[in-house]
Amino acid sequence: MVFSAPIRLLASLALITLYACNGQTQSNPKPAPDSEILLTHHPVQETDGVVYFSYDQGLTWENKSEGLPSTTSIGLGGIAVSGNQLALISKDSGLYYFKSQEDKWVPISTSKQLLEGNVGALLFYHDRLYAGTQTKGVFYSEDNGHTWATLNTGLDNVTIRKFAKIEDRLYVATNSGLYSYNDTSGRWELEYGNGSLQVNGLTVFDGRIYMATSQGGFASPIGEKDWKPIFSKGALHNISSDDQAVSAMAYNELFSSYDQGQTWQNIQGGLPSQLYTFNVVNVNHTLLAGQWDGIYRKDSESGSWKLSSTGLPEKLAIANMQVYDNIIVVTGNERKLRDKMTTGK
């Protein structure tokens, strides 16, 4: 498997394996599991500085890491939201649910096989919780993570990077393309890709699916598999959207498009030079960007990004950002930049 230079950079730094999205809970026929899974439990130690909440649209941040062990490492896509449920999965200590009444994270005994696969992506979809791994494919649970089974039939590659729910269909991004799950046949079906197309992110905008890949950006009307290139300026690390624009995250710049990807404008101003953005979220017309040294905020289309990390540790790379019950939830890990890499503007 051949990775681009930025992907090798992430691997060499032991940073963040790229992974997953979130969905809503409904009923759905049970797919046949590929195998049954044994469980193991990891003791909890109190720590801080891994998960933070903001109650004021990213102006200030509060540490919400109680209940998590000091070794917690959360991959990109490793938090999931559905209704009043908030969960995260750690590569080394397993699954946790946030209990609002106790204001802490509570562990769930987690499959040893799941953890051994280097778990990253997490998604609530219908009445199941899905988890993606780097080496063992897709796992799902129908009892809130107490037991797990694999679900890999139809996949040509078991390195899972992201999940997405689009118009009541489950999608998975892998190292060899984009797949969707067919509930009737119980198989994954290839939507688009080839042996070398690494899919890093998905979003929906104006009736089309947008895909971030190692070969740029692609888009197709939902359900038509008519994929066309929409971004050719290099590999994309992630992609997101709101009700006005699509944001494309290249490995050294951030771009936006207001015309379905026909044209793109650089919106890197105010962000660290030559460092990529992990994620972009629009909260009540305020844009928030997760970067290598914290959270940046942008209050107008024409304005520049400004650091908005009050309450966060210095140099905390923000790998994940989700909105949960009007609260912005972020996760991150401390990182060291290589020589010549800088967070200078």
**What are the tens digits of pLDDT across the range 293-335?**
999 999 876 689 999 999 999 888 999 999 998 899 999 876 5
- Residue 131 in any domain: the answer is yes
- Residue 136 in any domain: the answer is yes
For residues 303 and 269, the answer to whether their CB atoms sit within 8 Å is no
CA 345, CA 334: separation in Å to the nearest integer?
20
- Residue 182 in any domain: the answer is yes
- Residue 35 in any domain: the answer is no
**What are the tens digits of pLDDT across the range 139-171?**
999 999 999 999 999 999 999 999 999 998 999
CA 199, CA 309: separation in Å to the nearest integer?
30
Q: Using alpha carbons only, what angle is made at residue 61 by residues 57 and 62, rounded to the nearest 5 degrees?
A: 130
User: Which CATH number goes with the domain that contains 200?
Assistant: 2.130.10.10
Per-residue pLDDT at 194: 84
Burial (Cβ within 10 Å: 0-12, 13-18, ≥19) of residue 3: middle
> For residue 42, how many C-alpha atoms fall within 13 Å in the half-sphere facing its CB?
24
CA 219, CA 118: separation in Å to the nearest integer?
29
Per-residue pLDDT at 255: 96
Per-residue pLDDT at 71: 82
- Residue 141 in any domain: the answer is yes
- Tokens coding 171: 């999608």
Per-residue pLDDT at 345: 54
For residues 101 and 88, the answer to whether their CB atoms sit within 8 Å is no
CA 74, CA 318: separation in Å to the nearest integer?
10
Which value, in Å, is the radius of gyration of the alpha carbons in the chain?
Answer: 19
Starting at the edge strand found earlier in the chain, the sheet holding 85-90 runs: 79-82, 85-90, 94-99, 104-108
CA 183, CA 25: separation in Å to the nearest integer?
15
| pLDDT < 70 regions, the chain | 1-48, 301-302, 334-345
- Residue 341 in any domain: the answer is no
**Long-range Cβ contact pairs of 178-183 (< 8 A, separation 24 or more):** 178/202, 178/211, 179/154, 179/155, 181/31, 181/151, 182/154, 183/28, 183/29, 183/31
Structural domain span for residue 101: 5-27+52-334
Virtual torsion, Cα 132, 135, 137, 141, nearest 10 deg: -60
CA 177, CA 188: separation in Å to the nearest integer?
12
Q: Using alpha carbons only, what angle is made at residue 172 by residues 10 and 82, rounded to the nearest 5 degrees?
A: 95
Q: How many domains does the chain have?
A: 1
- Residue 253 in any domain: the answer is yes
- Tokens coding 317: 């790379």
- Residue 122 in any domain: the answer is yes
